Amino acid sequence: MVTAIATINLKGGVGKSTMTAALAEFMAGRFGKRVLLIDLDPQTNLTTMMIGSERWQELNKSHRTLKALFEQALDSRAHAFDIEEAIQRDVSPLSSVTGIDLLASSLDMIEISEEVAAWQYEEPESLEPLSVLKTAVDKVGHNYDYILIDCPPNMGIVTRNGLMLADAYVIPTIPDVLSTYGIPQIQKRVSMFTEKSGHSLKALGLIITKYRKGTNLHRDTIRTLQNAVLNFDATAPQDRTTAERPPNVIPFWVPDAISIAGAAEYIDHRTLTKRYGGGDTVETLHDLTEHVMMNAKIYT
């Protein structure tokens, strides 16, 4: 049975797309899983990481990005979107990794998201504007073990389409004040979404990215995040000032490494070890992926 996981953060630059790609490549390359990547972020970083800019331009011109899906939902006279044609097969640039497919994003998703938001505003009680993505992907979801959804850095209508499809979500974050500040807002907005839509999803935890072990700020921030969970669990239910349990910190912290930054380039490094720098970094990504998969199966 397929499990869909969304990656969300309201702040850009935290390594969200890189982490989504890494999870997919380790799921497929280390664990033999079939993965569908869905790039909802109009920055298209995940798309170009996996297929390069030239192939993306071809897809965009031929109406095979997710922009075309939402256009068709808005206007039946728009160019027909065929999800089987839109899905790009075996997209990792790593020649040793197979089993990853992609639904590509478009720079024009910003414009189309405004039109979908207007549609929802006109029909506030309808779930149809929230279900455009799910309705399409449900036709092919049985082909995969995991679906990973890279959401835009906001909680707009396109992100909510991703949440409607998702069973769970993770929050990639740098362990600093600016990157972690919006975490309660993410939880609050997800809670509001689940209440409105009736679709529940599980918080799998925080993925620590760009970790610098020699930096007191990073260590202190992680400790603060961990203590927030411990303090919540130790507080009697009637004394809790918030109903939302802070998300767990997943205990595998991805280092701030040149190799991780370089992994965003569309280059065939041939193996996962060469793409992500080998050593402790690769083992951390392996353990992180295993943790996410295990918890997704337990809690969803």
Residue 116 has pLDDT above 70, yes or no: yes
What is the set of domains in the chain, with CATH numbers?
A: 3-212+249-299 (3.40.50.300)
Q: Are 102 and 37 in contact (CB under 8 A)?
A: yes
Residue 300 has pLDDT above 70, yes or no: no
* Model pTM score: 0.95
Whole-number average pLDDT of the chain: 93
User: H helices of the chain, where?
Assistant: 16-31, 45-61, 66-74, 83-86, 109-122, 132-137, 157-165, 177-180, 183-197, 216-234, 258-262, 272-276, 279-299
pLDDT tens digits along 117-174:
899 888 888 999 999 999 999 999 999 999 999 999 999 999 999 999 999 999 999 9
C-alpha to C-alpha distance for 166 and 74, rounded to whole angstroms: 22
**Which residue type does 206 have?**
L
